[in-house]
């Protein structure tokens, strides 16, 4: 059950919280929140509920949910699993709007599916919005809402900030939070969603993006049910300028199996998520460090206009490393402008290397006037969109003076300034404080500064797509398609492609009798011949394809041999006939389309032939899309270079390939309810202006249709 646009304000700013299953023991799951809510500054009312007690920590203890007084916005439920559905119904009766269910033993356990269904029914019947079950709770740092259990709920957090974290893994999500918390990164809230019986990760992200006190939403996910909503939230995030930092796990086969046994979370292939995260609004990360680094860079609130980075370093070695990393991450390190060069050369010490990276000496860091001048020149240089300043392990007073100077210069520009400092926090505390106060992000190694710069650039570069008027933009209108069976063979699959204007090779389907008694060539030689059968998805494995047939006798022989070979491969197979086709020429690619249960219609494209399986170079795009998006898709694949022309070969026909992919995207988008997948493999792409031609196709209808 998915609700959109829910206002979760009272979940994060509750006037009163009932702890259902409260305990007087602060070590127990039902005891921790009572302790934390009364100790760490929560200003609302706390209502312990447990018939066994009269009071807990000086608060009156209530016998049941019905007895809780007003105001009460949230019930925190720490009861045995089997009584949870009734507790949710009781919350509904009592008018409590949100329930956070910590209890485990639902869909994630072998025998818990039934109980989870009962909980779903209680949610539907009561109207209560439920977080969990099997979650670790809600930690609202702004209002000191300690609604959960485990390490991060056991101490008072000093500050609240503007990073919201939504996590599908309680234990790990809170571990991440704990680690990140030490790194000058302040959280607004951390919400563990557990089995998501009602409220889903995407509901919370949707809401949190709208909050004025949230600037960044970070999320740890194993999978989402509605992939298209994820994409839409990315666009919302990009429009608001608030990144969704996304850490997706369960991407390997072992990882997916583990996720399935963990929160019963199945999800789309990681390849599809990868395509999703390349769209506007997302910044994918892989560990705590990069999550923290990316967040710091965005909290800085400066936006690079392009990929060009100016680097200044006190260490030549660090400059080399920065150059490596920037290049790896598709940033650019252009040379200094002529005027910067001239100015720098006029006063820089002899040992300095006046270039980009600018390898300054300790002297520059000791001479504040010189330091200011050098940084100012870099910042003003029109060749750079952002600046990285690395000061190695300069510590103490020197570091502080440099930090103050940098803070002063920073106010003169809106270009991002990323600082690298490998000094120990204990030896440069004042400097780090000064940088933080000036909102200058500081990273412990140059490599991490470069990665943060790249994240900034890629988020801001990724513009929102321009929505064309839906019908007018279509090169082809919706066409009804007719097909049936479990697999649609080549001939009929190609008819579907033709209906959407995708060129296919000229061919003739000869009935078997006619093929066996052939007297005249059905098309000009050279030809390809294939057995047409719904039972042969992989024809070449079955010896049911012959290419390069040059005359009639070869054609006759090939037909006989193929029939024999196919019958050996799959005795008793159904045969529609023999397809005879012109030989397509060009470079072999593959295209495909599928209806993903989570992300809907998707188109895939990559190098074909023997390289397809070897190189697994497949890019994906969400259907439908226009030729412009198709062009970007092609150019993001490994085969992109072929469209630019490789040594002595003319460039391949990009326009025709893009048109084909866009038409295929319309086909699958129009018929995603009936088509599970279409393979167009191989498709031959000719040189520029010579077009493309689909040489084979296979269509798999959706089961049960």
Compute the least distance from the CB of residue 127 to a copy of itself, in Å: 28
Per rule CB under 8 A, is residue 182 in the interface with a copy of itself?
Answer: yes
Per rule CB under 8 A, is residue 133 in the interface with a copy of itself?
Answer: no
SS3 573: coil
Of the residues 6, 67, 337, 422, which one makes contact with a copy of itself according to CB under 8 A:
422
Q: Among the candidate windows 2-10, 41-49, 327-335, 410-418, which touches a copy of itself by CB under 8 A? A: 327-335
Give the whole-angstrom CA distance, residue 76 versus residue 102: 7
Give the whole-angstrom CA distance, residue 140 versus residue 353: 50
Longest alpha-carbon distance in the chain: 101
* Cβ neighbours around 271 below 10 Å, total: 15
Give the whole-angstrom CA distance, residue 678 versus residue 300: 46
Give the whole-angstrom CA distance, residue 230 versus residue 599: 9
- DSSP-derived letter for residue 671 is T
- DSSP-derived letter for residue 465 is P
Per rule CB under 8 A, is residue 541 in the interface with a copy of itself?
Answer: yes
How many contiguous H segments (helices) and E segments (strands) does the chain have? 23, 29
Give the per-residue contact string, 378-417, with a copy of itself (x = CB under 8 A; - = no).
--------------xxxx----------------------
Compute the least distance from the CB of residue 15 to a copy of itself, in Å: 30
Cα distances from 339 to residues 334, 476, 605, in angstroms, run 14, 54, 46
Per rule CB under 8 A, is residue 25 in the interface with a copy of itself?
Answer: no
Compute the least distance from the CB of residue 327 to a copy of itself, in Å: 4
Q: Among the candidate windows 50-58, 260-268, 558-566, 697-705, which touches a copy of itself by CB under 8 A? A: 260-268
Give the whole-angstrom CA distance, residue 612 versus residue 571: 29
Compute the least distance from the CB of residue 67 to a copy of itself, in Å: 30
Peptide bond into 526 cis (omega under 30): yes
Compute the least distance from the CB of residue 647 to a copy of itself, in Å: 6
Interface with a copy of itself in residues 106-125 (CB under 8 A) = 108-109, 111
Element (H, E) at 501: none
Per rule CB under 8 A, is residue 266 in the interface with a copy of itself?
Answer: no
Give the whole-angstrom CA distance, residue 232 versus residue 279: 10
* Cβ neighbours around 531 below 10 Å, total: 29
Give the whole-angstrom CA distance, residue 493 versus residue 25: 67
Interface with a copy of itself in residues 429-468 (CB under 8 A) = 444-448
Question: Which of residues 177 and 459 has its CB atom nearest to a copy of itself in the complex?
Answer: 177
Per rule CB under 8 A, is residue 82 in the interface with a copy of itself?
Answer: no
Q: Among the candidate windows 65-73, 253-261, 377-385, 484-492, which touches a copy of itself by CB under 8 A? A: 253-261
- DSSP-derived letter for residue 627 is H
Dihedral (C-alpha) 379, 382, 388, 389: value to the nearest 10 degrees?
-40
Give the whole-angstrom CA distance, residue 271 versus residue 576: 36
Q: Among the candidate windows 157-165, 234-242, 418-426, 592-600, which touches a copy of itself by CB under 8 A? A: 418-426
Interface with a copy of itself in residues 202-221 (CB under 8 A) = 220
Question: Which of residues 315 and 595 has its CB atom nearest to a copy of itself in the complex?
Answer: 315
Antiparallel, parallel or unpaired: β 98-101 and 45-49 = unpaired
Of the residues 26, 105, 465, 701, which one makes contact with a copy of itself according to CB under 8 A:
105
Compute the least distance from the CB of residue 315 to a copy of itself, in Å: 3
Interface with a copy of itself in residues 572-591 (CB under 8 A) = 587
Of the residues 170, 307, 489, 503, which one makes contact with a copy of itself according to CB under 8 A:
170
CB 142 within 8 A of CB 189: yes
Antiparallel, parallel or unpaired: β 16-20 and 45-49 = parallel
Give the per-residue contact string, 277-316, with a copy of itself (x = CB under 8 A; - = no).
---------xxxx-----------------------xxxx
Q: Which of 672, 664, 671, 676 is nearest to 620 (CA)?
A: 664
Which residue intervals of 181-315 are DSSP H helices?
201-210, 227-240, 253-263, 270-277, 288-299
Per rule CB under 8 A, is residue 261 in the interface with a copy of itself?
Answer: yes
* Cβ neighbours around 66 below 10 Å, total: 11
Per rule CB under 8 A, is residue 649 in the interface with a copy of itself?
Answer: yes
Per rule CB under 8 A, is residue 274 in the interface with a copy of itself?
Answer: no
Of the residues 10, 38, 40, 172, which one makes contact with a copy of itself according to CB under 8 A:
172
Of the residues 55, 82, 327, 551, which one makes contact with a copy of itself according to CB under 8 A:
327
Q: Among the candidate windows 44-52, 503-511, 534-542, 555-563, which touches a copy of itself by CB under 8 A? A: 534-542
Give the per-residue contact string, 32-71, with a copy of itself (x = CB under 8 A; - = no).
----------------------------------------
Q: Among the candidate windows 177-185, 274-282, 477-485, 572-580, which touches a copy of itself by CB under 8 A? A: 177-185
Of the residues 263, 504, 579, 657, which one makes contact with a copy of itself according to CB under 8 A:
263
Handedness of CA 473, 477, 483, 484 (dihedral sign): positive
Which residue intervals of 381-413 are DSSP H helices?
396-410
CB 130 within 8 A of CB 99: yes
Of the residues 93, 114, 324, 551, which one makes contact with a copy of itself according to CB under 8 A:
324
Interface with a copy of itself in residues 330-369 (CB under 8 A) = 333, 350-351, 353, 355, 357, 359, 361-362
Question: Which of residues 657 and 662 has its CB atom nearest to a copy of itself in the complex?
Answer: 657
Give the whole-angstrom CA distance, residue 239 versus residue 72: 35
Of the residues 8, 174, 184, 207, which one makes contact with a copy of itself according to CB under 8 A:
174
Interface with a copy of itself in residues 602-621 (CB under 8 A) = 607, 610-611, 613-615, 617
**Phi, psi for 331 (deg, rounded to 5):** -90, 165
Q: Among the candidate windows 167-175, 461-469, 662-670, 683-691, which touches a copy of itself by CB under 8 A? A: 167-175
Interface with a copy of itself in residues 656-685 (CB under 8 A) = none
Q: Which of 636, 630, 672 is nearest to 655 (CA)?
A: 630
């Amino acid at each position: 059950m998915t609700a959109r646009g829910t206002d979760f304000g009272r979940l994060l700013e509750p006037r009163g919280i009932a702890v259902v299953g409260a305990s007087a023991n602060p070590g127990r799951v039902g005891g921790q929140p009572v302790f934390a809510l009364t100790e760490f500054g929560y200003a609302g009312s706390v209502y312990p509920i447990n018939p066994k007690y009269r009071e807990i920590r000086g608060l009156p203890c209530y016998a049941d949910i019905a007895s809780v007084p007003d105001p009460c916005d949230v019930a925190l439920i720490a009861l045995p699993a089997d009584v949870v559905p009734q507790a949710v119904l009781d919350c509904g009766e009592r008018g409590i709007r949100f329930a956070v269910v910590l209890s485990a033993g639902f869909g994630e356990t072998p025998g818990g599916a039934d109980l989870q269904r009962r909980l779903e029914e209680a949610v539907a019947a009561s109207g209560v919005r439920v977080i969990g079950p099997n979650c670790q709770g809600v930690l609202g740092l702004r209002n000191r809402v300690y609604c959960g259990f485990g390490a991060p709920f056991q101490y008072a957090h000093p500050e609240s900030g503007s990073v919201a974290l939504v996590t599908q893994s309680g234990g790990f999500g809170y571990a991440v939070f704990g680690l990140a918390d030490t790194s000058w990164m302040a959280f607004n809230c951390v919400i563990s969603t557990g089995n998501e019986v009602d409220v889903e990760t995407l509901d919370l992200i949707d809401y949190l993006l709208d909050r004025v006190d949230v600037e960044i939403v970070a999320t740890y996910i194993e999978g989402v049910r509605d992939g298209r909503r994820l994409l839409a939230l990315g666009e919302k995030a990009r429009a608001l300028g608030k990144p969704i930092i996304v850490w997706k796990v369960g991407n390997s086969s072992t990882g997916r199996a583990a996720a399935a046994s963990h929160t019963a979370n199945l999800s789309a292939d990681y390849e599809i998520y990868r395509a999703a995260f390349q769209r506007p609004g997302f910044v994918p990360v892989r560990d705590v460090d990069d999550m923290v680094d990316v967040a710091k860079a965005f909290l800085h609130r400066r936006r690079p206009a392009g990929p060009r980075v100016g680097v200044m370093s006190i260490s030549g070695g660090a400059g080399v490393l920065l150059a490596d990393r920037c290049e790896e991450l598709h940033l650019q390190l252009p040379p200094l402008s002529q005027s910067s060069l001239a100015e720098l050369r006029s006063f820089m010490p002899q040992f300095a290397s006046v270039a980009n990276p600018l390898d300054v000496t300790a002297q520059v860091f000791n001479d504040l006037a010189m330091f200011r001048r050098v940084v100012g020149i870099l910042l003003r240089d029109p060749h750079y969109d952002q600046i990285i300043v690395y000061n190695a392990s300069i510590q103490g007073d020197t570091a502080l003076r440099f930090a103050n100077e940098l803070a002063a210069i920073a106010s003169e520009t809106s270009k991002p300034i990323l600082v690298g400092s490998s000094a120990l926090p204990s030896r440069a505390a004042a400097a780090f404080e000064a940088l933080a106060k000036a909102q200058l992000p500081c990273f412990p190694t140059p490599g991490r500064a470069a990665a943060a710069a790249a994240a900034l650039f890629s988020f801001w570069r990724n513009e929102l797509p321009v929505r064309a008027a839906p019908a007018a933009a279509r090169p082809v209108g919706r066409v009804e398609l007719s097909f049936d069976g479990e697999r649609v063979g080549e001939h009929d699959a190609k008819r579907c492609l033709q209906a959407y204007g995708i060129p296919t090779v000229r061919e003739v389907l000869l009935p078997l009798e006619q093929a066996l008694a052939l007297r005249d060539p059905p098309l000009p030689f050279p030809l390809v011949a294939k057995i047409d059968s719904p039972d042969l998805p992989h024809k070449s494995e079955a010896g049911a394809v012959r290419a390069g047939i040059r005359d009639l006798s070869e054609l006759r022989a090939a037909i006989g041999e193929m029939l024999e070979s196919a019958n050996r491969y799959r005795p008793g197979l159904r045969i529609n006939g023999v397809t005879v086709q012109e030989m397509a020429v060009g470079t072999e690619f593959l295209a495909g389309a599928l209806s993903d249960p989570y992300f809907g219609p998707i188109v895939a494209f990559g190098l074909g032939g023997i390289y397809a399986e070897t190189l697994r170079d497949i890019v994906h795009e969400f259907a439908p899309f226009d030729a412009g998006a198709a062009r970007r898709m092609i150019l993001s694949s490994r085969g992109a270079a072929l469209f630019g022309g490789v040594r002595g070969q003319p460039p391949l026909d990009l326009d025709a390939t893009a048109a084909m992919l866009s038409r295929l995207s319309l086909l699958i988008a129009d018929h995603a309810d009936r088509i599970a997948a279409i393979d167009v493999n191989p498709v031959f792409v000719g040189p520029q202006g010579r077009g493309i031609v689909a040489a084979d196709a296979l269509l798999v209808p959706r089961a049960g249709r």
